[in-house]
Amino acid sequence: MCNIMTEAITRHCKKHKYSDAYRDYWIAHPFCEICGNHADPPHHIRTRAAGGSDEAGNLLSLCTAHHREAHTIGVWSFANKYGQFQEKILEALDLEFPEW
């Protein structure tokens, strides 16, 4: 990734008091894990307010459209629609794999 992007991500994370782990995840995953477009700040599967961490297992790099979708349709619908994330989502939420 170019230095300018790394610096911009670092500034954003510092301004919003995100951890080094969050910053490192975003730098390592600058593109949406679904469509490949540029990613917004990483999405917390379990929100920080609900005790979620900034560790890689609790984060997804999503573009604006997919980030908005994750918040709009909810975690279960998102996990069903994008099955490649079901296991990661369940682990982040400390849940067993349900019978979909």
Residue 73 lies in a domain: yes
What is the reported pLDDT for 73? Answer: 96
Give the domain CATH number at 34: 1.10.30
pLDDT at 97 over 60: no
- For 18-85, the DSSP string reads --HHHHHHHHH--B-TTT-SBP-SPEESS-GGGT--SSGGGEE---HHHHHHHHHHHHHHHHHHSGGG
pLDDT at 96 over 70: no
- pLDDT tens-digit readout, 10-64: 999 999 999 999 999 999 999 999 999 999 999 999 998 999 999 999 999 999 9
CA distance 99 to 15: 41
CA distance 38 to 87: 24
Q: How many domains does the chain have?
A: 1
> Residue 79 has which token pair?
């996990």
pLDDT at 85 over 90: yes
pLDDT interval class at 94 (50, 70, 90): confident
Residue 77 lies in a domain: yes
- Which residue in 68, 74, 75 sits closest to 95, CA to CA? 75
